Structures are given as structure tokens and as C-alpha cells.
């Protein structure tokens, strides 16, 4: 099975939380210790863990970096990290701590020369986070929506060396309403690169539907609220994916 399920740990104020549609005023706290949550996902079979520094995304610089580095150093599977990462030194610090993949979002649209440099330096250890409303890219913790389309931006970044994109439909994030499969698969086809789906996964059928587009380049899905609200367990999801191969 090559389609990867990424359990999500969103960190705010040092705790594991989930937001509704990226709204910082609509927060639910699920655990006091992100590290213990990460260990739990590994025990349940996770092959990767997805970490987001929500404070960092809002503030424009890492705010929970020490917690994230501790997770990367402690658990036995690779982690990918996003949220407020906008300098080469921040990327280097995370890489030195053992982070396997760094997600760059706002900087990818606001500073393309920077993005080209880091893609040349780190290659597939960089993922481009495309957080979108109605197909248009949002930045700065989803607080600003631009007039740049995800596909147009992604195509430019592919020319710089981008290999992996994470597509989040903000309107569906934290809502359990199903992922935007059409746009996710469309981005994969348009770029010819790996796209990880994020936002809206509500049941096992959503994961199976996404996995049918693996041939198009949809390589995995980030799952948050569905796991935290026990819509299904990680073990159930992994078993269903193996059965579908």
C-alpha cells in the first residue's frame, strides 16, 4: 500500500487542537500533550505524522518549534511540519531536529525566489502547502485569500523543482463534509506531481475514493477531526486501505 494516511496534530498554545474551517475562534482541544498524541498514532500504525503549528501560521514564525522538534526526535516514524515557516534558517533548524518534510505555504506565494532557493536546496524534503478557498490560494494562517489560483501557482513552482503539494480546501477543513476530490485530483493531473489531500475526510469511503486517484498522483490524505471524533480509527482506515489494494 503506497497511499499514505497522515494523522494530523494541530498545535496551539502547546496543546493538540482542531479548528473549524480554519477559524481560530472555533477551537476544540483534544489533548494537552501533542507528543503523547503522536506516540498514540505511531502505536496505532501511522507511517507518517502531520504536524501544524497553528500559532506559527498566524504569527508568521514558528511558535511551538520546541514541541515539534521533540516529537521529531522521539517518535519512530517521519514527520512533516507546517505553520509559519518562512526562512531558510527555520527550515534548517527543523531538518537538523529530524523533521523529514517541511511544508511551506505563505512564503510560496509571497516570496517565490525564496521558494525556488529552498526547492533547489532541499528537493522533495519541501512540500508546498496550497490552502484554498474556491480554488484560490489563502495565506497567513488562512486569514488572507489571494487572487492566485492553486493550479497556476503550482505549475510555476513545479518549474522550480516542487515535487509534493498539500491541497487543503478551507471550506471543508474540520467539517467532516468530504474532501474536494475533483480539485485535488485535478491539481495532481495538472502538475504531474504528488498531491496530499487535506480537509473534510469524514469516513472510510472518502479515503477509498481519494486512493482511487493514486494513479493520477494523489499520494495520501491528512486526517484530523474524523480520527479525533472516532468516526473511524486509524487501524480501521489502514486495514481498509490494505484490503482495497
Residue numbers annotated as active site: 10, 131
> In sequence order, what are the residues at sequence separation of 6 or more whose Cβ sits closer than 8 angstroms to the Cβ of residue 17?
10, 11, 27, 28, 29, 30, 54
**Rounded to an integer, what is the distance from CA 164 to the centroid of its chain?**
11
Q: Phi first, then psi: what are they for 202, rounded to 5°?
A: -120, -20
Q: How far is CA 234 from the centre of its chain?
A: 17
Q: How many CB atoms lie within 10 A of CB 34?
A: 25
Enter the C-alpha cell of residue 148. 492566485
- CA angle in degrees (0–180, nearest 5) for 190-195-200: 115
Q: Which residues pair with 19 in a beta bridge?
A: 27
Give the CA count within 13 Å in the CB-facing half-sphere of 235.
Answer: 3
Amino acid at each position: 500500500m503506497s497511499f499514505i494516511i497522515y494523522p494530523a496534530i494541530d498545535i496551539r498554545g502547546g496543546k493538540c487542537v482542531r479548528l473549524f474551517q480554519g477559524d481560530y475562534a472555533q477551537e476544540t482541544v483534544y489533548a494537552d500533550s501533542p507528543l503523547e498524541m503522536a506516540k498514540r498514532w505511531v502505536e496505532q500504525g501511522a507511517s507518517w505524522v502531520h504536524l501544524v503549528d497553528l500559532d506559527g501560521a498566524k504569527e508568521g514564525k514558528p511558535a511551538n518549534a520546541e514541541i515539534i522538534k521533540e516529537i521529531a526526535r522521539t517518535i519512530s516514524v517521519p514527520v512533516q511540519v507546517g505553520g509559519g515557516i518562512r526562512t531558510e534558517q527555520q527550515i534548517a533548524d527543523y531538518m537538523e531536529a529530524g523533521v523529514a518534510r517541511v511544508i511551506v505555504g505563505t512564503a510560496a506565494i509571497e516570496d517565490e525566489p525564496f521558494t525556488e532557493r529552498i526547492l533547489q536546496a532541499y528537493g522533495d524534503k519541501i512540500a508546498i502547502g496550497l490552502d484554498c478557498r474556491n480554488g484560490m490560494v489563502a495565506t497567513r494562517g488562512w486569514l488572507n485569500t489571494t487572487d492566485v489560483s492553486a493550479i497556476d501557482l503550482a505549475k510555476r513552482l513545479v518549474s522550480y523543482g516542487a515535487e509534493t503539494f498539500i491541497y487543503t480546501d478551507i471550506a471543508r477543513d474540520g467539517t467532516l463534509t468530504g474532501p474536494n476530490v475533483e480539485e485535488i485530483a485535478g491539481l495532481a493531473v495538472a502538475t504531474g506531481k504528488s498531491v496530499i489531500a487535506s480537509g473534510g475526510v469524514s469516513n472510510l469511503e472518502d479515503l477509498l475514493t481519494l486512493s482511487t486517484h493514486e494513479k493520477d498522483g494523489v499520494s495520501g490524505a491528512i486526517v484530523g477531526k474524523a480520527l479525533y471524533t472516532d468516526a473511524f480509527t486509524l487501524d480501521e482506515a489502514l486495514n481498509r486501505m490494505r484490503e482495497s489494494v
